[in-house]
Amino acid sequence: MSYLGEPFKYDVCASYSHGDPKGAGTSKFKSYSQGLLRELETELKAHPTFGDKLTVFFDDHDEPGEGLDPNSALTEQLRTAMGQSAIFTVLMSDHYLRSKWCADEREYWLKNGSTLAFDHSERLSVARIWNTTEKWPSMLVDERGNPLVGTCYFDQAHVATAPWPYAWPEPDAETKDPFRRILLSQIGLIWQQIEKLKTRLDAQRRAQQDVARLSDDSGQVLYLHARSENEEIWSKTSDALTEQGFTVLPSQPEPVETDPDKALRVRNRRVETLSGCDALLLVGSNDGPAVEADLVVVGRQDRDSARALGRRILPCALLDTVGAPVATGRRTEAARRLRVDWLDCTSPPWVGKVHEWLTQKSTEARRST
């Protein structure tokens, strides 16, 4: 299992050419590339926080499951390994650019990555191990068609007379600068890519858990907001939701404080509680201006603060228990623009509409995650 977890089996995979055009089975180019990859993996796994959890794939890896299985179909193994890898590391050379195998590996990786919510450019790492004259594929160039900068392992100032990469013909654990310095520079960039991907994947997983809770038959935690002067209707609404298996918070409607300090304390408690809830429900009343204030202050401002604090989806709806004249076209349109749904709860039984609404919000959230 990779450090990043699903949908990735490998955190890093390496695509490189053996540089063996005559098919002799070995070459100095292959020895150099594999030596670089061994050092790259060793340094990657030196990270004190997540290094020992990283999985790295390249074809001749010594560890079972991180290289090719000689007893299995080659093409299928490469397709699976490249397609399930997070960071795609290229050892760039003209050998690489002319290799059909390497082109297939890029295609496998890019095709699978297109189904994920990550731009492929965020998951590329290029090690220039030899100066190139061939045209680079579109995946490895910027919007102007220029090759990606990558990390250069050779002396660009003397490439005509000394084209070999540093530590030629084979780097090892004893190899020092300039090879080691350049390698560590690339390692640092890959670490950053992994950490960014981890942060985004964890956020996606939290969102998926929130979505799953919304579609449950019951048991969701609902924040039911009403003003203290509407305690009777709040109590009836809270009882009806509780009887259907919902957990309702807070335990009573909230006072409207005129003192700024007290008002701020009320709002801070509201946001804190809201940040752990699955949805926000506003209890409508026959006081139109109060409904409008709750839409803006609670339905937008406090809800946005709670979403940021809890990193939750937190859908919001107004439970209209009054109907006309509160449910005017202007108010319902204002609610829509504030991303607050308007539920007609003027006639019982209305709790089923809350279930339907939560299921709808779950479906919409799945499409966007």
3-state secondary structure of 167: coil
* pLDDT given for residue 212 in this prediction: 72
pLDDT of the residue at 345: 92
Per residue in 174-207, pLDDT tens?
Answer: 999 999 999 999 999 999 999 999 998 888 888 7
* 259 and 286 co-located in one domain: yes
Output the 3-class SS for 205-262.
HHHHHHHHHHCCCCCCEEEEECEHHHHHHHHHHHHHHHHCCCEEECCCCECCCCCHHH
End-to-end Cα, the chain, rounded Å: 23
Identify whether residues 341 and 256 lie together within a single domain: yes
* Beta bridge pairs of residue 248: 222
Higher local confidence (pLDDT), 264 or 204: 264
Please tell me whether residues 132 and 267 are part of one structural domain.
Answer: no
What DSSP designation does 138 have? G
pLDDT for 68: 42
pLDDT of residue 111: 83
pTM: 0.70
146 secondary structure, DSSP code: P
Length of the chain: 369
pLDDT tens per residue across span 338-362: 999 999 999 888 999 999 999 888 8
Q: Examine residue 297 and state whether it is found in any structural domain, yes or no.
A: yes
Q: Residue 323 falls within a domain, yes or no?
A: yes
Are 70 and 109 found together in one domain?
A: yes
- Cα 63 from chain centre: 29
C-alpha to C-alpha distance for 35 and 117, rounded to whole angstroms: 33
Of the three residues 194, 211, 228, the one that is the final residue of a domain is 211
pLDDT for 22: 64
| 232 and 142 co-located in one domain | no
Domain assignment of residue 2, yes or no: no
DSSP 298: I
**Poorest-confidence range of 64-78, 120-134, 329-343?**
64-78
Tell me: do 80 and 135 sit in the same domain.
yes
**Domain boundary residue, one of 195, 211, 227:** 211
- Between 366 and 62, the higher pLDDT residue: 366
**Mean pLDDT for the chain?**
88
User: What gap in Å lies between CA 110 and CA 87, rounded to an integer?
Assistant: 11
Percentage of the chain with pLDDT > 90?
68
Count Cβ atoms below 10 Å from residue 110 Cβ, excluding itself: 18
pLDDT of residue 73: 39
Q: What is the pLDDT of residue 63?
A: 52
Pick the last residue of a domain from 191, 211, 231: 211
Q: How confident is the model at residue 43 (pLDDT cuts 50, 70, 90)?
A: very high
For residue 209, CA distances in Å to 6, 28, 115, 315, 365 come to: 14, 50, 20, 14, 11
| Interatomic CA distance for residues 14 and 29, integer angstroms | 15
- Residues of the domain holding 337: 215-368
> Cα(173)–Cα(108) distance, rounded to whole angstroms?
32
**Same structural domain for residues 320 and 187?**
no
**Secondary structure of residue 293 in the 3-state scheme:** helix
In a domain, 335, yes or no: yes
Q: Are 136 and 224 members of one domain?
A: no
pLDDT at position 69 is: 43
Please report, for the domain that includes residue 153, its CATH number.
Answer: 3.40.50.10140
Query: Structural domain tally of the chain?
Result: 2
